[in-house]
Amino acid sequence: MSNEKNKNIMNFKHYDDGKEGRFFIILDSGMEAGWIKYTWLANGNILADGTRVYEEFKDQKLGIPPFNRLIEFAKKKQIKIYPKCPFVVKTFSRNPELNSLLADDYLENEKKE
């Protein structure tokens, strides 16, 4: 996703301790702008349970780049995602082509509601 406002993103820092992980947004200035968080589940999949963009960076669409990192991570690890964070739920609903990364039982529950 291209956005003139977020062109200053330099990279991401990935933290994972085997229980939970985060992708941190790091700007060119070295400043951290936010993160997306996940928790490892007993079945080997992840629960996407938090996204945060710091107040001074709101309205710059900085939630999308770490979401994309989470998607790349899930594909690389061949794992499924349980979206819990409202931002992640909304982003998946807007991108049905990513449904193959959603946990099967999550999809089954969504169909029932």
CATH number of the domain within which 51 lies: 3.40.630.30
For 91, half-sphere exposure in the C-beta direction (CA atoms, 13 angstrom radius) is 24
Range of the domain at 54: 4-112
Number of domain units in the chain: 1
| Nearest of 54, 89, 43 to residue 70 by alpha carbon | 89
Beta strands in the chain (DSSP E): 9-16, 20-27, 32-40, 46-53, 81-83
pTM above 0.95, yes or no: no
* C-alpha–C-alpha distance, residues 68 and 98, integer Å: 11
**How would you write the pLDDT of the chain (113 residues) with one tens digit per residue?**
434 444 555 689 999 999 999 999 999 888 999 999 999 999 999 999 999 999 998 888 899 999 999 999 999 999 999 999 999 999 999 999 999 999 988 877 765 55
For 48, half-sphere exposure in the C-beta direction (CA atoms, 13 angstrom radius) is 31
